[in-house]
Chains A and B, each alone.
Chain A
Amino acid sequence: MTPRRAEHVAIGLMVSGAFLALAILFFIIAVIMIKGLPHITARFLLDNPMDMGRAGGIFSTIVSTVYLLVVSLVIAIPLGVGTAIYLTEYTEEGKITKIVRFGTECLAGVPSIILGLFGFILFVIKLGFGWSVLSGGISLAIMILPVIIRTSEEAIKSVPQAFRDVNEVLGGSKWQGVTRLVLPNAAPGILTGVILSVGRGIGETAVVIFTLGTSLRTPFSIFDSGRSMAVHFYILAREGISMDNAYATAAVLVFSILIINIFSYYLMHKFVEARR
């Protein structure tokens, strides 16, 4: 094959690869939207599921999902951002940062089913929280912790060194520098990470099904069980309870994930522009 020919073949291959991947994405989104959207009404969103989800809406599962995400963020944000602050502001690159980074990488690689097993045995059984928003929230927090650490670290690193120097010259303490200069300036970047992890949390099933449980009642207390939208979709689809409601639930899920991703991408874009 002449180099020229090879070039054409290669470009053709690469383009068709990228095209195939994009086509799969569009197929997934299109199918879910086309089959799901017609069944989404105000009543579907605001009614509780009836008859195991055969009828009624998904209101209690929306509440469970939001409740679960709020609890997990309340736990994961301080720990994640704190870790990022320590890594970037309070220590030099060395043994400790290496160990912490390695631990974070490994944690990111732990399969969600293992996290589910762990959350089940520790929080649900041993600590006696039962299937609850609390058990689910802590387990999910562990899952999203690496995402928040990584994005916060990037965001904090991108704050210009000059800010810190000025703070030092003016006699500010490190803590003042962190709270008044570094964090406010890194906030949009950190928020991007938080939003991304919300996106991951919304779709998570394996962790949630064993820690939050599958109760269709609306959770009030942190010790109540619930059923997230993703788990609800899984049960509807797998047990063949109602295809229409399964598609509609999936459409709500995928739609929120789309919005979340687009919003976080927009935010990141702004953040990067501002740093230039």
Chain B
Amino acid sequence: MSAADIKRKEKLIQRIFLVVAFSSLFSLFLIALFIFVEGLPMIWKVGLKDFLLSTRWSPTKGHFGIFAMIVSSFWVTIGALLFGGPLGLMCSIFLVEFSSARMRAVIKPALELLAGIPSVVYGFLGVVYLVPLVRDYLGGPGLSLLTSCIILGIMILPTVISISVDSLVAVPDSYREAAFSLGATRWQTTHMVTLHAAKSGIITALVLGMGRAVGETMAVIMIAGNALKIPLSPLDPIRTLTSNIALEMGYASGLHRQALFATGIVLFFFVMALNMIATLFARRKVLK
């Protein structure tokens, strides 16, 4: 092969890789395209206001209001953050600031295992163990907003932990040493110096955790009760955007099916907004 041939071949290979590199972006584009093309005509027909702000969802009678589900998804995401956020942060701080390298080598991969447990298993164990507990001690049907928040809080732990551990590890040791040499205790150093320096990374971790919570489906279907109402107390059953799609997709057709895709559009906006926020904070990781 002559030198020119080799050069041409290299150019071709580079082009092929360039095309391959766009596969994930292309998939993302296709996903957005098909969800929108299927869902938008329905929103057009029903009207954005009646779709987003009405609480009447009865597909057989032609009512497609998802307001109750938007509210439910919102609360369940906040609730998951309330349970999973502090717990995840405690784990991360323990791992990075208060444990030996050897302990970390065992505990961190163990906690990462939580991400491997299938969401249906979380949902199932939630039904079998947590739902009766909530029902007997707190009242209500047990299948509720609160139960969902606890289970989702556990499910977002791996996301919160892995990203906040990374951002805590990224804080240079010289920061800690400077604080120690000024006579600060380990905890003073952690909450006055390290957490400050790692702030943007920790926010990224929490926001991505929220993204996981709002998108979770199978576990929520099993434990949330799926009632079509705006929850007034944490013990009320709820139906989230995701569970609405999954519950009715099996038999929906026509306008009803389009309405489920339109629900998907709303979910897509939620998740993309959270991702954007996370990316924004992740960019500011560079320490001042």
- Contacts from A to B (Cβ < 8 Å): 3-4, 6-7, 10-11, 13-18, 20-22, 24-25, 28, 31-32, 78-79, 82-83, 85-87, 90-91, 96, 99-100, 102-107, 109-118, 120-122, 126, 142, 145-146, 149, 173-175, 199-200, 202-206, 209-210, 230, 233-234, 237-238, 246, 250, 253-254, 257-258, 260-261, 265
Contact = CB atoms under 8 A, between A and B. Distances in A.
B224 to A, nearest CB: 13
Nearest to A22: B110
B21 A82 contact: yes
Contacts of B95: 18
A153 to B, nearest CB: 11
B111 interface: yes
B17 A109 contact: no
A25 B113 contact: yes
B10 interface: yes
B241 to A, nearest CB: 9
B90 A17 contact: yes
16 contacts: A14-B98, A87-B21, A90-B17, A99-B25, A107-B28, A109-B208, A113-B242, A113-B245, A114-B267, A115-B31, A237-B127, A253-B118, A253-B121, A254-B121, A260-B116, A261-B116
Nearest to B109: A265
Interface residue SS majority, chain B: helix
Interface in B173-200: 184-188, 190-191
Contacts, number: 243
A83 B278 CA distance: 23
Contacts of A90: 13-14, 17-18
Say whether chain A's binding surface is mostly helix, strand, loop, or mixed: helix
Interface stretch (B40-48, B55-63, B133-141, B211-219): B211-219
A204 B216 CA distance: 11
B28 A113 contact: no
A210 to B, nearest CB: 6
A252 B31 CA distance: 32
Contact of B272 (A78, A106, A250): A106
Contact of A24 (B6, B16, B114, B222): B114
A118 B39 CA distance: 11
Contacts of B89: 17
A114 B215 contact: yes
A62 to B, nearest CB: 15
Nearest to A114: B264
A96 B17 CA distance: 12
A222 B95 CA distance: 46
A137 B20 CA distance: 18
A99 B24 CA distance: 10
A257 B267 contact: no
Nearest to B95: A18
Given A11-B187, A145-B23, A261-B116, A122 B34 contact: yes
B287 interface: no
B279 interface: yes
Given A3-B185, A83-B24, A107-B24, A117 B111 contact: no
